Amino acid sequence: MGIKSDMRFCFFLLVFLVAGSSCVERPWHHSAGEYVVVQPSAGQSLDTVASDFGGGPAGLPAIEALNPPALTPANTPLLVPATPAYELGIRAGGYQVVPVLTYRWVGGADFEALEARLRADLLQLQSLGHSLLSPDEFLGFIRMERSVSSGAVLLAFEVYHAEGFRAFWERSSDLGLTGLLFIEPSTVGTEGALTWEEVARLSGDAMEPALLPPGGQGLTAPASKETLVGYTLRVKETITTSHGLLAGNVPGPVRFAAYPDGVGNSVMASVMVSLGMKGIFISGEEGNPFFCDNLSVVRMDAGGRGAEVPLDRYLDTFREAALSW
């Protein structure tokens, strides 16, 4: 029974890879229900579609974003956001993006310096009028379900070394922090790491646990002489085991994950999606618009930047663009 299940998984994976190759140029990846399909009548323009379905002139750039003229033959069905575009950060000269600022507690780091930097960054965010999103709000934004306040950012903490993080968290109980807590489940409970009791408590304190699969398992690519099927089954087993450990020890569903190498591939993505991941993170240097690919959501290593790099470098929350692909 297990062999048949694995064979079916590999079959659907190949379908996923082939189907995905035909739409990699499209600037979105969203599941059904987040947009509506509109069949334009003969000669109907995007302007009239926007007027009827997409929020008027302000919605036209979003319609164009989802239906790039170069990739959209005439008289073909069009994708239109279920939420009017003007509620999704679309403005006359561009669109809103949401930065995800990551801070990492790893062995060998100067935790006092990291805490000082994070506290300074939080003060700067407050002084500049930026707001902190909850994971729910961020997910709603990238799924085209809700708008978020101008200048909104999402915090993400990646914790391998608990001592420094515990000290920071105990001194920050009055800050009302919310965001994602990336953890590698196999390390929880080991020497120097968080315990499952602490992870559950942090979850109750508005830090949503997110999956970080083991980084030392060679998940990035097949090993020497390893077949694609063998590699796929190994990735499936590793990530499924890691996910099961996390899901079995936290109160809510596991909705977010990050690729262990910061880049990812279609094999890892397909396994994570099959486990219910709604947003999968890569490492990068930019914010996320409402039409971002939910298999490649960008998070930035704000905590690891050089001393000479200002936080402003990561706070581009509006991208000027004509929205033409």
Element (H, E) at 271: helix 266-274
Fill in the DSSP letter of residue 323: -
Distance of alpha carbon 120 from alpha carbon 123, whole angstroms = 5
Name the pTM for this structure: 0.76
Task: Output the pLDDT for position 83.
Answer: 64
Task: Output the pLDDT for position 102.
Answer: 97
Give the max Cα distance, the chain: 67
Q: Give pLDDT < 70 ranges for the chain.
A: 1-35, 52-59, 71, 82-87, 92, 322-325
Give, in order, the Cα–Cα distances in Å from 124 to each of 62, 129, 138, 192, 203. 31, 9, 21, 31, 25
Task: Output the pLDDT for position 205.
Answer: 84
Distance of alpha carbon 30 from alpha carbon 51, whole angstroms = 23
Q: Where are the alpha helices (DSSP H) in 143-265?
A: 162-170, 196-204, 228-247
Task: Output the pLDDT for position 182.
Answer: 97
Task: Output the pLDDT for position 47.
Answer: 77
**What's the Rg (C-alpha) of the chain?**
21
Q: Which of 178, 205, 209, 206 is nearest to 196 (CA)?
A: 209
Task: Output the pLDDT for position 34.
Answer: 61
Render 126-161 in DSSP notation, one character per residue.
HHTT--BPPHHHHHHHHTTS----TT-BEEEEEES-
Report angle CA 189, 195, 198 to the nearest 5 degrees.
Answer: 170
Distance of alpha carbon 259 from alpha carbon 295, whole angstroms = 10
Task: Output the pLDDT for position 322.
Answer: 63
Which residues fall within 8 angstroms of residue 32, CB to CB, at 6 or more apart? none
Element (H, E) at 18: helix 2-21
Distance of alpha carbon 135 from alpha carbon 157, whole angstroms = 12
User: Mind listing the pLDDT tens digit for each residue in 16-53?
Assistant: 443 433 333 333 333 345 667 777 777 777 777 777 66
